[in-house]
A and B are shown apart, each in its own frame.
Chain A
Amino acid sequence: MSDAPVLEVNDLSMVFGGLRAVDNVSLNIKKGEIVALIGPNGAGKTTFFNCITGVYIPTHGEVKINTSEGSAVLNGLKPNVINEKGLARTFQNIRLFSNMTVLENVMIGRHQSLKSGILSSVLRTKKNRIEEQKVIDDSYEILRKIGLEMYVNELACNLPYGAQRRLEIARAMATNPFLLLLDEPAAGMNPQETNDLVELIERLRKEEDITILLIEHDMSLVMTLSERIYVVDYGKMIATGTPEEIKNNKEVIKAYLGEDIDA
């Protein structure tokens, strides 16, 4: 396999009316990396995610993936097709299927892997039954791995907050991605839950052979987890580097603390 980055974003821009929410951002991630995207509120991070995952069609630029199956350009594809290509995401403001059970939430993630059509499920063919049983077992296995097995039959909306965030990850993992995009996975968590999350993300990368791009405000999490950090402000990329470099970058400090830091 070549050294080409798994995700390559070139000169991506997203314009809403007069607002350039994302302005000429380029980014690349190598296989197996954990990369963080940080920046003040309203910097355009989630918009950037939405452009990559097909919720928005970027005004300009290119989103490209390179996998063992070759390269592909993702611009303009529908979100479900992008998911099929191996990108899965979570949402900042939790978007679970609230009135379905935890297991069913994960089972939906397995949707793509199911081959049987309506007719064979209505006739309950043998193939269909085996497939259904496999979905149930696989989904349970994912829940076990993420530590949610005690909630299998609970409604997603009845879960404690931290567990809901983890369920978002479980559901995304069920789609069998090579790249996982986490949008503020630790938002609203207490320190204990955040620690568990760090442990979970590291374990996922190791065991599942996965690459991770995350947006996060919790700096301790970002600094422990990520190998490289990209910083955006007002839609523009202002810095990139290792956690150490970013910590000492003047531009970044200015963006976070305001203009007159030196004054």
Chain B
Amino acid sequence: MITIKDLKKAFLNALWFIFLTFPIMVMKVNTINDTLIWRWMNMLYIGVAAFVFTLLGKIYTVRKANRSEIVKPSLIQIVNSKMENKKVRYSSLAAVVAIVILYPFLMSMYQTSIMTTALMYVVLGLGLNIVVGFGGLLHLGYAAFYAVGAYTYGLLFYHFGLNFWLCLPIGAVFSALFGIILGFPILRLRGDYLAIVTLAFGEIVRLVLENWNEFSFGPSGIANIARPMIFGQKLKLAQVTNFTYFIAVGLTILTIIVIRRMESSKMGRAWEAMREDEIACQAMGIDITKAKLTAFSMGAVWAGIMGVLFAAKTTFINPASFTTWESIVILCVVVIGGMGSIPGVIAGALIFILTPEYLRAFSQYRMLIFGIALVVMMIFRPGGIIPKIRRSYQFAADKEETQEVEA
């Protein structure tokens, strides 16, 4: 399978990458104390890695070419067909429910708090998925809506003492309005321009929060925001952590139900049609302006709600939490999980947030690996970890023929 020619190519690739990474990987300067460290071992690692990956790439392409005809059902399809069985479906659902309910009682407070964060990213991912996955609009300023929610609660609490529950819908509405405000100027823009304008919008929001001290208290932010309460009762820290966790669980379930229903509604179909072909979409009678604006505002709602929860969970907010990086992290969740796929986005968020927490050694490499993952995903698996499975319909007239589910 591997010829001398391949080995030669791998060797040349190894040399190229050694050359390419030489100054940055091998040399390390510190111009403050004028030191220069040579790290020769890195050269070896890079060479070996480039060599091995070239050969692996070769093996992959050869195997892909050979197995073209025999399509094996993927793991997801197998799981999916197992789920068709009611018994399997209900028992696995029961297991998930049990784990979710027992989690905070079995795990430490720290673990519960991490899980709450992961669930928040599930909701953020699902919200952004409306814009990116369904609508096909690459949005790089999503954290701005998250900020709108957080500052809505922070400021309303600070000035008027409004509580968490009241602010939850207010944050959602404010955020949706912001979505529409952003939506208007970009209605005419195509994919790549849209990406850069949303990015600019996100940065403008952050710059305003950072510099308009009278309004947002600048970089020092707002501290001592109240945590969520039940019936006006203040809870102990351990209790409130569990309580916040259950709020996050509740909101996640709500999000999943609502977004699933939106997806299979008139509006959801319009969003997807817009992603596929804007001109044909209009020719079919869909108002593209309305479709874009609803996609932006319905996507923003969830960021607003999560912003409120974030402010209540951490009790402190400042502009540093809402940078472009935050937007990109949420985008990674959606893209790696699977654009347009609800289970995919959930899986993406859990993997993305939990792995770095549990593999501490790995956490500093998080963004490095996810950067590469974006590239690799786009090349080898553009549908994400769990690609979207389209709904299939059955009709009395031809039951036999429509039994097969197309993925």
Contact = CB atoms under 8 A, between A and B. Distances in A.
A and B touch in the complex (CB under 8 A): yes
Contacts of B285: 80, 83-84, 109, 111-112, 175
B393 A140 contact: yes
A101 B395 CA distance: 15
B56 interface: no
A136 interface: yes
Interface string A143-159: 01000011011110010
**Residue from A104, A107, A108, A112 having most chain B Cβ neighbours under 10 A:** A108
Contact of A97 (B264, B272, B282, B401): B272
A137 to B, nearest CB: 8
Interface stretch (B43-51, B286-294, B315-323): B286-294
B390 A122 contact: no
Contact of B281 (A101, A108, A154): A108
A171 B286 CA distance: 13
A231 interface: no
**Residue from B265, B277, B281 having most chain A Cβ neighbours under 10 A:** B265
A121 B265 contact: yes
Given A88-B283, A140-B395, A171-B284, A153 B270 contact: no
B284 A96 contact: no
A4 interface: no
Given A111-B286, A118-B294, A152 B269 contact: no
Given A84-B285, A97-B272, A118 B390 contact: no
B398 A175 contact: no
A101 to B, nearest CB: 5
A258 to B, nearest CB: 34
11 contacts: A78-B282, A80-B287, A96-B276, A97-B272, A103-B393, A111-B286, A116-B265, A121-B266, A132-B264, A153-B404, A174-B284
A228 interface: no
Contact of A108 (B265, B286, B390): B286
Contact of B258 (A96, A122, A136): A122
Contacts of A95: 277, 279-280
Interface residues of B, number: 37
A211 to B, nearest CB: 17
A116 B393 contact: no
B350 interface: no
Interface in A159-180: 171-172, 174-175
A98 B276 contact: yes
B192 interface: no
A89 interface: yes
A150 B286 contact: no
B298 A118 contact: yes
A124 B405 CA distance: 25
Nearest to A128: B265
A83 B267 contact: no
Nearest to B260: A122
A169 B272 CA distance: 20
Interface in B368-407: 390-393, 395, 397-398, 401-402, 404-406
B406 A155 contact: yes
A219 B390 CA distance: 40
Given A107-B269, A108-B281, A155 B287 contact: no
**Residue from A100, A171, A172 having most chain B Cβ neighbours under 10 A:** A100
B21 to A, nearest CB: 38
A175 B284 contact: yes
Given A118-B294, A122-B262, A83 B283 contact: yes
B401 A150 contact: yes
B261 interface: yes
A79 B390 contact: no
A114 interface: yes
A66 B286 CA distance: 23
B286 A80 contact: yes
A144 B392 contact: no
Given A104-B269, A150-B398, A79 B298 contact: no
B393 A153 contact: yes
A174 B392 CA distance: 19
A234 interface: no
Given A96-B280, A101-B406, A121-B261, A108 B270 contact: yes
Contact of B266 (A80, A116, A174): A116
A78 to B, nearest CB: 7
Nearest to A106: B284
**Residue from B266, B397, B406 having most chain A Cβ neighbours under 10 A:** B266
Interface in A53-78: 53-55, 78
A64 B270 CA distance: 28
Contacts of B119: none
B273 interface: yes
A159 to B, nearest CB: 12
A112 B267 CA distance: 11
Contact of B402 (A88, A124, A144, A152): A152
B280 A155 contact: no
Contacts of B405: 153
Contact of A122 (B261, B281, B294): B261
Given A118-B262, A150-B398, 11 more contacts: A54-B282, A78-B287, A80-B288, A83-B283, A89-B283, A100-B272, A108-B286, A116-B265, A121-B266, A122-B262, A136-B393
Interface string B247-270: 000000000001001101111011
A88 B406 CA distance: 29
